[in-house]
Amino acid sequence: MGEDVGMYHDLGLRSIVNAVGPATRLGGLPLSATVLAAMSEAVAANVRMDELEEAAGAELARLLGVPAVYVTSGASAALTLAVATCVAGTRPGAIEALPFSAAGRRVIVQHAHRDPYDHAITAVGVTLTEIGYPGSTYPDELARELDDSVAAVLWRPGREGELLSLRTVAELAGSAGVLVVVDAAMDAPPVDRLQQLVSDGADLIAISGGKAFRGPHTAGLLCGNADLVAAVALHHQDMDIRAQTWQPSEITGAQPLRGRHGLGRGMKVGREQIAGMLAAVREFVTEPTRWDAHYASELADCAAKLTQCPTLSVAHGRNDHLNVPVLEIGLPGGPPEADRIVRLLDAGEPRIHVDEGAAWRGVLTINPMGLHPGEGTVVGQRIAEIIMSADHTEGP
């Protein structure tokens, strides 16, 4: 069971059994002792952040088998920095003038690839131009939009339909001199999936550090073309310096950064996030299946408790984005019953949250990524108790 942390108790908060997974609204996943130790060690001393980004980025690129990596404050920040770089490049005047210097610039996106996180794109000042329909996009629909106003094409994996593949998008965009940005926040690791995105033509790829890598929840990675990744620093790092005294990087020999603060200045990443991200990736690459047995055990224990309820449909499934097994619980009462159970789980003791993404079709999902040992049993037993109660009473 997760600990009832004293500081939360002192603030009047109840700890949550997290059967949702790496959800920001719940603060993300538990961190390993190795990651926590790396973060603690990092804050014990100061370093130049540009040099830390360069050194950590080079090591992360080596570990992941990609051209270059920059650590960001999450996948959303990585997307914003990626698009800012596509718009303004390394031009100090254009960087300083964002989002206004992006007026008239566009990012093309397939209709089926629209997402609630698109604010990360439009925050740069660009306009999103949709092409295609919910279930299909044709090559000519992209080709005819690729003019000088286009800063980038945005592509997202895992969408269903007769849609343009990344390889097709990259070929069309590349022939017009347009960059391709991939939002793979939930889709890497596995590492070979990330490498395939690079191979298929992505110029910049935004991924979350706090999901399957199990790094700090406020960290992300921007991977891809080395020149573009190097340019990201101009949009992101602290420019409160004097060029007369700022020395070249002792890591790469890069000359002092020019210009003032960029659009990404508020998306700062601490040295502890960079260190924790590096430690997490090292752990994952060394032992990519280290959590598999834990996930399987917690889901099996949860399913065993649910056998008390013959009216339930319990199936083992998989979250393909996160590449983890899940338990899908079908409820005979449909969406209304799913909503009642979610509310009762939150109100009960212990306080439990489950994935309600499929509640609209009467299904609750158990994601094991945030469960401590033994919590699968707790979740299953509590759901069974609610189901077996007379009327799922929520109280006054």
pLDDT digits (tens, 9 = 90+) for 73-94: 999 999 999 999 999 999 999 9
Q: What is the pLDDT of residue 262?
A: 92
| d(C-alpha 320, C-alpha 327), whole Å | 13
Mean pLDDT of 332-337: 96
| d(C-alpha 389, C-alpha 372), whole Å | 27
Task: Give the β-pairing of 69-72 and 106-110.
Answer: unpaired
Q: What is the pLDDT of residue 240?
A: 79
CB-based contact 345:383 (threshold 8 Å): yes
Mean pLDDT of 206-214: 98
At residue 373 the predicted structure's pLDDT band, cuts being 50, 70 and 90, is very high
At residue 394 the predicted structure's pLDDT band, cuts being 50, 70 and 90, is low
Percent of the chain with pLDDT over 90: 91
How much is the mean pLDDT over the chain? 95
Question: Tokens representing 121?
Answer: 């794109």
Q: What is the pLDDT of residue 4?
A: 59
Task: Give the β-pairing of 16-19 and 363-366.
Answer: unpaired
At residue 241 the predicted structure's pLDDT band, cuts being 50, 70 and 90, is confident
List of residues 6+ apart from 123 with CB closer than 8 A: 80, 99, 263
- The structure's pTM equals 0.94
| d(C-alpha 193, C-alpha 75), whole Å | 16
Domain 33-286 class? alpha beta
Q: Is the pLDDT of residue 13 over 60?
A: yes
Q: What is the pLDDT of residue 1?
A: 55
- Residue 48 has what DSSP assignment? -
Mean pLDDT of 353-372: 98
Question: Tokens representing 353?
Answer: 């949250």
Q: Is the pLDDT of residue 368 over 80?
A: yes
Q: Is the pLDDT of residue 245 over 90?
A: no
Q: What is the pLDDT of residue 396?
A: 42
Backbone angles phi, psi at 232, to 5 degrees: -60, -35
Question: Tokens representing 186?
Answer: 């939930």
List of residues 6+ apart from 170 with CB closer than 8 A: 180, 200, 201, 202
At residue 242 the predicted structure's pLDDT band, cuts being 50, 70 and 90, is confident
pLDDT tens digits, one per residue of 138-160: 999 999 999 999 999 999 998 99
Please identify which residue in the block is written with the tokens 């990344």: 166
Q: Structural domain boundaries of the chain?
A: 6-22+291-388, 33-286
Q: Which ranges in the chain belong to alpha helices (H)? A: 6-10, 33-42, 49-64, 75-88, 92-97, 119-122, 139-143, 166-175, 191-199, 226-236, 271-286, 292-306, 334-347, 375-388
| CATH code, 6-22+291-388 | 3.90.1150.180
Omega within 30 of 0 (cis) for the link into 396:
no
Q: What is the pLDDT of residue 226?
A: 98
**Ramachandran sector of residue 255 (left: φ over 0; alpha: ψ -120 to 50; beta: rest):** beta
Distances in Å between the alpha carbon of 198 and those of 122, 142, 206, 250, 309? Answer: 24, 20, 12, 29, 47
Which of helix, strand or coil describes residue 153? strand
pLDDT tens digits, one per residue of 290-317: 999 999 999 999 999 999 999 999 999 9
